[in-house]
Structure 1
Amino acid sequence: MRSKVSPSLTATPPEVNSSNHNTHPIHTTSFAIQLSWFGRLFSSLQSELMIDEHGIVFPDGFVPPNALKALAVKDSSKAEVKGKRHRLLWQHFDVPPVFEWRWLGATLIYRVDGVLHELHFIGYRDSRALAGQIKSQWAHYHQKRLLTLVSNVENTIQARYLRHSRLQAIQLRVAKEYPRWMPWAQSSPLSHTIRDAVAKLNVMHNWSETDIAELRECFIQNQLRLYRHYFDTVESNPMTEKQRRASVIDDDSNLLLAGAGTGKTSVMVARAGYLLTSEQARPEEILLLAYGKKAATEMDERIKDKLGIDNIKTSTFHSLGLTIISHVEGKQPSLSAWVNDQEAKTQWVQAKMERQLLNARYCQQLIKYVSEFYYQPKNTFEFTAQSEVDQYLRSADICTLKGERVSDVAHMHIANWLFLNGFEYHYQATYEFGALGKGKRVSSNYHHKSGADGANSVVGVIKADFYLPVTNVYIDYYAIDENGDTPIYKDKHHFEQMMQSKRELYRQRGSRCIELFYHQYAKGRLNHALKRGVVKMQLDSVPIDDEAVLNMMRQSGRLTKLAGLLSQFITVFKSTCQGKLTLEKILNRVAGNATKTDIQHIRLAFSLLRPIYQQYQKHLSQHGQIDFEDMVGKAIHYVEQNKFIAPWRYIMVDEFQDISEPRARLVRALRDSTWLNSAQPERAQLERAQLERAQPASLFCVGDDWQAIYRFSGADVSLTTGFSQYFGPSSQSILDQTFRFNDRIGNTATQFVSQNPEQINKEIRSLSKADKPSVSMLFSEVNTKSIDFLLHKALADIHIQMRGRGRARHTTQVSTVYILGRFWFQLPDKETLKKLNQQYSDLQIRSLSIHAAKGKEADYAILTGMTQGQHGFPASKISSPLLEALLPVEEEFPNAEERRLLYVALTRAKHKVYILADRNQPSSFVSELMEPTFDVEIVKCA
């Protein structure tokens, strides 16, 4: 078994210097190698070949090749007989010269700077006898380089974790040195020191993945032994094995996947302290990054409390950006007042938009955008029930330019086109008609009455979608695709009967009707089809004046809402793209996924945004101001342009799953900005420090892809799931033991969130065990009961459990309860919350949105708002295609982020979670959790 270069197996070689190259010194007297008889008689060479401790002296008459003329020096040693001869020093030879025996004498073959050269006609006997001496002399001269390399590698792997960049640097150095010694040195009579170093060099050159893993593990175990007491005492409780390992592992880029409640903050603190205690870093070389100011402050206080130091920099990304910008520009930048006043920013955007409306083209584009693209429709065929359609239309607040509520998104487009083209219309107009004939029926959409004789007659009303009173023309829209199919919630047979009956009615009455269809709307050709129908019936259109349309939009507040949307576009555009995305690049990003309607929407929205964005940037520039997005954007520019060299050798990022691409780009640039600007090592230490000085900073990111819930603000979960693709070779660790929730909550939450195969597979183990289900689904058997009824049922059950716990422990304690909702408006208001706390005095009840509850914990959690629709859970709110194009690419798995959001909600509770189910509009998540495969208790509340 070959030996391994390992801190536990291999001793460090003795110190080497220029005056002591070997523990067995070579005699430094020179010796000569005579020419062959042919060389003496027939060549231009006239003396012997001389070898000494400095190099080789060539025979008199030797003419150096052109490539060696600059290196060969004149020699005037005492051994010389005839004039000055040329010498090559040992330092010039890549490898030891060797002899090759030929017919007319031996040939000396030597390599200099990668080029082979030959000297012919050397005597057989002397060359055979002294070949080994040449190797020994070369080895004696070059041993310092070899021994220093081996020593430095051994010292490095003992003192530092073997990062990928360190490994690469070592392998490059070893690969360069290896062919200088192998294979000849293995069979040559060299000193023990050199032979030992060569053996180690050979091992290093042949390191396998297993060898590298063993070296790293050896370092980790050694550090865990050395700093056991530190890890036992740095926190109030001894750290777990995986927390300790995560603190020690120090690759160029490190990802720590820390599940909910697994103690990630403890690892952040412990790692910083370990770097200081092990003297791998000084406080000023460590940077801790948090997202919000509050989180950064809490981390700073935790560091001071646990480590007793106050000069580790803890910062938010925005604060870091200000630091970098101030350093480069020499002064603190001025922040725009809009940074903390979104309403003022929206008002400014609206003022600039109003000014742009003086331009006729911009005005027409805005009207087209509002009338055709402002509301983002869902595909009618995606719905499974009419109730879903109704809920969607209500929650999306879809209405026409005239403010009318509609029963189909396509109706809104028809109404807006008619209004803009000056057609007076009645929506859902009643069509009076008499009996169609005894026994004839229309569809069930008609109102049927029984005649006096008991026979069925169809005497009643039917509603056309639109009626144009001036021209007596009807317009009907049918939800039919190109194949003649209807949505699944409509009975196709009855729907076709209804269409035929209406057509027959119009024919009998001589009424004119324009028919429109879903497939026209789906392809973005609905307005074209409507216009074609109007022209066919020779109806005159008188387009309404643009100013009249704008006044109506102003009165309805539509322009203010649009200004708010453009303001949001500016923020997202700057925060996710840093202004580098052109329209065509944006369209390329969505190519293949976007529909023709989406492409039209993006082009139009970008046309509205571009002049406002340009004025926004000009305003900031003229006033010498920056906004939040500039804090990161300018910092990226300065670091990437080497105008700022990071002084930090260790960068630690909290809540990494919430990171956006620009922030990740800033972190990567800081990592790659080496610390060459810091104190340089002494000259005598340069060789030993060579590997270290070239190292990038170490990046340590803590996050959990299962808790990635901020895509709407630019967060990109793929930066976590694809960490190594973005940051290069990296190490990944997992904290899988939670100290928060019990195993029954953990199993349910894990099973639910793990449905998405794109997420990182992991198993969270709970320290606490429960003997019964700890997730309860509460629903009322009486439809008239409100969610408040279920809320009180849950609180009452918690109250009973608390009394039981108090009696068992002979204590009186107060438990914390979080009422969690997908949206704030679904939660109890302040007055209601006050009454609840008064009614349940042994509980501390708080209400939080799930996003706000992330990172927090309570004894119990109650989930409300579990309905379907735009403001349900999962939420079905539809974003603008432009906004979607600017945000990170959405995952293919349905409701991926909403699913993670529910996971966050479930894992806030220590003991039990109550889900309040709405039977009238049940959430799809509720239906899924009620399946037998989930460990969920179903509770019917009467």
Structure 2
Amino acid sequence: MEAIKTTWGRIGRRGSRDWRLDLVGGQLVLTLPDRTLTLGPGAADEVRVVRRWLRYVVQVQLGSDMRTLTGIGRRPAERLQTFLAAWAQVAAITAWARQVLAVAGRAESDGRWITIETIRQLVDSRPRGDTGRGPVDTVWGLLGEVEQEAVRLWRLDLVRWSVEVNQRVLRAELTARGDLFQRVETTPLTFEQACAVVCMDNRVSVVAAAGSGKTSVMVARTAYAIARGFVAPERILLLAFNQDAAKELQQRLQRRLAAVGVSADGVTASTFHAFGLSVIGQVTGRKPRVASWVDGGQGQDKILRIVDRLRDSSERFRYAYDTYRLLYARTSDNPKGTDGDIWHRDTRSARHRTFSGHLVRSQGEKIIADFLYLNGVDFAYERPFTIDTATAEHGQYHPDFYYPAVDVWHEHWALDAQGRPPADFHGYAEGMAWKRQLHQDAGTQLIETTWASIMGADGLVAFGAQLTAAGLTLEWNPDRPSADRDAVPASHEDMARLLRTFMAHVKAGDLTEEAVEAKLRASPGLNTARTRHFLSVYWPVHRAWQQALTDEGAVDFEDMLVTAGQMLETRAAQLPYDMVLVDEFQDTSQARARIVRALVDQPGKYLLTVGDDWQAINRFAGADITIMREYRHWFGPGPMLRLTTTFRCTQEICDVSSAFVAKNDRQIGKTVTASAGPGGDRVRLRYSASNTVTAVRAAVAAELDRISESDQSPGNGTRPASVLILGRYRHDDRFVPAQLPAGLTVTFKTVHGAKGLEADYVIVANMTRGRLGFPSEVADDPVLNLAMAAPDPYPHAEERRLFYVALTRARHQVVLISVRERESVFVAELLNEGKLEPVEVDATSGDLVASTVQACARCGLGVMVQRVSAHGPFLTCSTFPDCRATINIPQQRSKPVRPSSRRR
């Protein structure tokens, strides 16, 4: 600064009122008749400009005395006032900047990451003021270099600034700790892995591609934190989702930390359940015991025993349970109903199978027909009405049901609780009026029901009363055998599975009856008679389950997690963990998330989670994918890092699987690269000769022979090739050949069971469409949405992720086994995009030839198959009647015709 920048005051006059205020060398110098004082940049606390009536004075605090200086004009006083305010702000900014720079200096000298907690503290302590042009600019020319740099720092985005500092820390640590990163795992850490280790922020989310070494990050981060002295071993907790994973983590920690001279003694690796038990034991002084039927995996059997007891003791429960199982377990809540389960050629429409053998048009009619059959009521379906109503424009009238024993007709209307038909049922009300008038004119007796009136046990009671009033006798027999062997109701085991699944979600969400009722009232789409019917069955089972736990003095897994979470949230449990690492984070439930949040919900804690939302396949078991997607909402801000290099799959498998699963844009994006470089065998589609179990098994056997003959040891000449045969369901193990080729190790797993596994080759044995195909068409009961995490709205979202898991188990090649005209929609999609290499057995020669299968260009969900009509052969979509695309086959082959919408 210059020696003197400006002057205020009255120096030169006589008397005690003479004074002068100068800015000299960055300090205020006050000259009085009796003394000279030097004031620092915080002079606003000692010098103030005060307006008194029509004049200004300057007040100076001299120790305990206040000196009032007069004789300053209005404009000099205002300039002095502005200067003092700006000068005080600069002083505060300069002091704050020294703290910020000290933090950065320590971070770079100590090689320690600046955490979001530290940044938040610095942001909170930042001096107030307009960081744009403001009072500080009025004194900018008077500031020294230090003060100007301080103001520049004050005006920066501190988060962006910290990122730059942390990048310098990262580069230095990657060099300084290179030996640890080279040796802590059997292969050196990748750049991405090492970055995730060094990034010692308070909240770090690692999104890890399949086979990208997420466990290596957890192990290396533990070693790094201990070696650097950031966290003591006994204050580190690693949480896994099952005992095998927790045991593997503990063993790997001991082995790999020892390899770099770091002791893992004191580090805890645990399952969530074991950890929850320890929390409860610490607080209560008595570690609880898991109920024998829960620990032994017999939960569904326990539900069956509870149901049997309740059915024996309560007629009301028996009727509610039986009617739900037999009539409602496989229905929707929509008056329009679900698609039929069989195509009726005569009427060219989808129909529903019934216990009586009738094929009916709607879901509501199916419920009624099955109710009548189980009550032993004789009826005719769509019998022509007594009066001939056929005209040139309209066909004969066929009421829905007719009861010959009492000469009564029955119409069932697709009306909701408000008396409204589905929006696309045009002219429905007029048709209802015409039919009612027809019956009135003919003098025939008509029973009427609506979708809303028959839903739920009480609705069936009212319908039964209508039938009884008409003179019919009802003899309810829930065990009456079905006349149509394909019309199969939900089994008792199905019901037990549904009740247990619903219970697990209710308990994990800590939902009481009152909470469920409140959720019903807030969700009109869920608050249906069918849902309330289910709850009338569920709550007695729930209460009996809880009583059984009490009687045994035990807990189940859900109660254990919820209770442990509550104890941690209320600080009833004080646990000595400063760093928490969570594996398979995409499978986290809300109960688990509450435990994790409570563990790190204090200053100075570190959380690292690793997972892959592309592999989120356990919603049915309580996983809530939104926790990973809404990470900041649950745990606070922090960096999201990615591991995108896979050490498992070829680039061909990476490209096919990633493009397939990433179509759901709600998922976290990433580009996966194979460490082995580009290339690899194409994903192979093998058609079996037919859809019989024998033929599919033969196709699997043929592929095993091919693998055995072509390459027994991909990448390793000392071991046989490994093959995983995967099925969507356990019963797909029937496709595994009895005789396996020598030189291969072959294992069957469901795709869910294969999570975390890998093999040289993967064969997916049942890539067909259908209820038990892949994707599975077994729909979850809609009542589960009352307790489960919200479903992903993307079509087949979880099944697509499950298929991604199947594809990414393979190191060398994936083989899909399918059946012509029954191809999975996933197969059709990949064929449509040219992602598969299809082959099949030639029917004449028996040789394996390239398949000429053509995907449907209209829907992309089926393939074109040949049919023959009265006009000759043509191609139609295999998903018919859902898609009615056709292609003509001219006698002289020419260019294919664009798909049309011709009806068959």
TM-score, length of structure 1 as denominator length: 0.70
Query: Is residue 768–residue 774 contact of structure 2 (8 Å, CA) maintained in 1?
Result: yes
- After superposition, the C-alpha distances for 1:38-68 in whole angstroms (9 at most, x for unaligned) are 9969xxxxxxxxxxxxxx99x9xxxxxxxxx
**Which residues in structure 2 correspond to 1:92-171 (within 5 Å)?**
95-98=45-48, 106-108=57-59, 120-121=68-69, 151-152=102-103, 154-156=105-107, 159=110, 160-171=112-123
Give the drift of 1:781.
5.6
| 2:378 counterpart residue number | 425
Which whole-Å deviations, capped at 9, do the CAs of 1:859-884 have from their partners, x for residues lacking one?
10111122222211111112222222
Q: Are the counterparts in 2 of residues 654 and 702 from structure 1 also a CA contact under 8 Å? A: yes
Measure the CA separation in 1 of the matches of 2:401 and 2:752.
44
User: Counterpart of 2:761?
Assistant: 860
* 1:574 matched residue in structure 2: 507
Secondary structure of the corresponding residue to residue 562 of structure 2: helix
Amino acid at match of 1:413: I
2:728 is the alignment partner of 1:822 = yes
1:708 corresponds in structure 2 to 616
2:647 is matched with which residue: 728, 734, 739?
739
Percentage of identical aligned residues:
25
How far apart, in 2, do the equivalents of 1:141 and 1:432 lie?
A: 94
Q: Does 1:846 align with 2:750?
A: no
Do the aligned residues in 2 keep the contact of 1:818 with 1:860 (CA within 8 Å)? yes
AA aligned opposite 1:227: R
SS of match in other structure, 1:853: coil
The answer on 1:342 being equivalent to 2:299 is: yes
Shift in alpha-carbon separation, 1:278–1:370, aligned structure 2, 3 A = same
Question: Is 2:732 the counterpart of 1:797?
Answer: no
Q: 1:541-583: CA deviations, max 9, x gaps?
A: 4454xxx657879xx9966754554333322211234548623
Aligned with residue 413 of structure 1, among 364, 367, 373:
367
Of 829, 836, 848, which aligns to 2:739? 836
Per the alignment, residue 563 of structure 2 pairs with 634
Q: Does 1:607 align with 2:536?
A: yes
Could you tell me how far 1:904 is from its partner in structure 2?
Answer: 0.5
The 8 Å contact of residues 686 and 839 in structure 2, kept in 1 or not, is answered as yes
* Structure 2 CA distance for partners of 1:176 and 1:486, relative to 1, 3 Å: closer
Count of matched residue pairs = 777
1:347-373: CA deviation from partner (whole Å, max 9, x where unpaired): 452255236615x4x455445534542
- Between stretches 740-749 and 815-824, larger displacement belongs to 740-749
The 8 Å contact of residues 412 and 448 in structure 2, kept in 1 or not, is answered as yes
Partner of 1:730: 638
The amino acid across from 1:586 in the alignment is K
| C-alpha RMSD of matched pairs (Å) | 5.5
Matched residue type, 2:781: S
Partner of 1:21: none
- Which whole-Å CA distance do the structure 1 matches of 2:137 and 2:108 have between them? 25
Question: Structure 1's 237 and 563: CA in aligned 2 closer, same or farther, altered over 3 A?
Answer: closer
**Deviation string, structure 1 residues 498-531 (Cα, Å, up to 9, x no partner):** x9xxx9xx99xx99797999xx548967998998
On the 8 A contact 1:429/1:464 being kept in 2, the answer is yes
Question: Which of 246, 254, 257 is residue 207 of structure 2 equivalent to?
Answer: 257
Q: 1:373 aligns with which of 328, 338, 343?
A: 328
Q: Equivalents in 2 of 1:589, 1:163: separation in Å? A: 41
Q: Shift of residue 258 of structure 1? A: 0.6
- CA distance in structure 2 between the partners assigned to 1:603 and 1:142 by the alignment: 63
Give the match for residue 697 of structure 2.
Answer: 788
Q: Aligned residue for 1:317?
A: 272
In structure 2, do the counterparts of structure 1 residues 483 and 320 end up closer, same or farther at CA, with 3 Å as the change threshold?
A: closer
Match of 1:911 in 2: 812
1:291 aligns to 2:199 (yes or no): no
> CA separation of 1:766/1:515 partners in 2, compared to 1, >3 Å: closer, same or farther?
farther
Shift of 1:929: 1.6
- Contact in 2 for aligned 1:430/1:463 (Cα 8 Å): yes
> In structure 1, what residue type is equivalent to 2:125?
R
* Distance in structure 2 (CA, Å) of the matches to 1:479 and 1:914: 46
- Separation in 2, partners of 1:812, 1:111: 90
1:212 aligns with 2:162: yes
Match of 1:670 in 2: 599
Structure index of larger Rg: 1
The aligned residue for residue 230 of structure 2 is: 280
8 Å CA contact 1:476, 1:514 repeated in 2? yes
Residue aligned with 2:665, SS: coil
Q: How much has 1:394 moved relative to structure 2?
A: 14
The alignment partner of 1:848 has SS state of strand
**Whole-angstrom CA distance in 2 between matches of 1:671 and 1:727:** 8
2-structure distance, mates of 1:472, 1:580: 46
1:892 corresponds, among 779, 793, 796, to 793
The match for 1:881 is 782
Residue identity opposite 1:856 in structure 2: L
Shift of 1:171: 1.6
Matched residue, 1:470: 405
TM-superposed CA distance for 1:841, in Å, is 0.5
Alpha-carbon distance in 1 for matches of 2:550, 2:14: 86
| Distance in 2 (alpha carbons) for counterparts of 1:796 and 1:188 | 86
| Letter paired with 2:573 | F
Change (3 A) 1:854 1:522: farther
Q: What SS does the corresponding residue of 2:766 show, helix, strand or coil?
A: strand
Greater length-normalized contact order (CA 8 Å, ≥ 6 residues apart): 1
Check whether the contact 2:722–2:760 (CA below 8 A) recurs between aligned residues.
Answer: yes
Match runs of 1:755-766 below 5 Å: 755-766=663-674
Do 1:478 and 1:515's aligned partners in 2 also have CA atoms closer than 8 Å? no
Residues 424, 218 of structure 1: alpha-carbon distance in 2 compared, 3 angstrom cutoff: same
Cα distance, 1:375 vs structure 2 = 2.6
Greater fraction of residues in helix: 1
Shift of 1:426: 5.2
Question: Cα distance, 1:278 vs. partner?
Answer: 1.7
* Residues 644 and 367 of structure 1, relative CA distance in 2, 3 Å threshold: same
CA–CA distance in structure 1, aligned partners of residues 829 and 408 of structure 2:
48
Q: Does 1:225 align with 2:225?
A: no
Name the structure 2 match of 1:52.
none
| Per-residue CA distance 1:369-410 (angstroms, 9 max, x = gap) | 3454233359778649945999xx9999x865x899989644
Which of 445, 470, 490 does residue 539 from structure 1 map onto? Answer: 470
Q: Could you say if the C-alpha distance between residues 268 and 877 of structure 1 is closer, same or farther in structure 2, counting changes exceeding 3 Å?
A: same
Q: Deviations over 1:614-638 (max 9, x none)?
A: 3433443455422111221011111
Aligned mates of 1:742, 1:142 — CA distance in 2: 55
Deviation at 1:325, TM superposition (A): 1.1
Cα 1:721–1:389, aligned 2, differ >3 Å: closer, same or farther? Answer: farther
How far apart are the structure 1 equivalents of 2:534 and 2:337?
A: 26
2:354–2:369 Cα contact (<8 Å) kept: no
Residue 236 of structure 1 is matched in structure 2 by: 186
Q: Establish whether residue 644 from structure 1 lines up as the match of residue 644 from structure 2.
A: no
Kindly provide the CA deviation profile for residues 167-223 of structure 1, in whole angstroms up to 9, marking residues without a partner as x: 1101222336999x9789977799xxxx74884475255345542321221121122
- 2:657 aligns with one of 725, 746, 749: 749
Residue segments in structure 2 that go unaligned for 5+ positions in a row: 1-8, 18-28, 259-263, 482-488, 844-904
Residue in 1 that maps onto 2:549: 620
Letter in 2 for 1:424: V
1:757-776 equivalences under 5 Å are: 757-769=665-677, 771=679, 773-776=681-684
CA distance in 1, matches of 2:513, 2:146: 57
Q: Residues 765-791 of structure 1: CA distance to partner in whole angstroms, max 9, x if unpaired?
A: 112356565211111465677211211
Q: Counterpart of 1:585?
A: 518
2:794 and 2:197 mapped to 1: Cα distance?
34
Task: Trace 1:46-125 onto structure 2 (pairs within 5 A).
Answer: 95-98=45-48, 106-108=57-59, 120-121=68-69
Q: In the alignment, which residue of structure 1 is the partner of 2:282?
A: 327
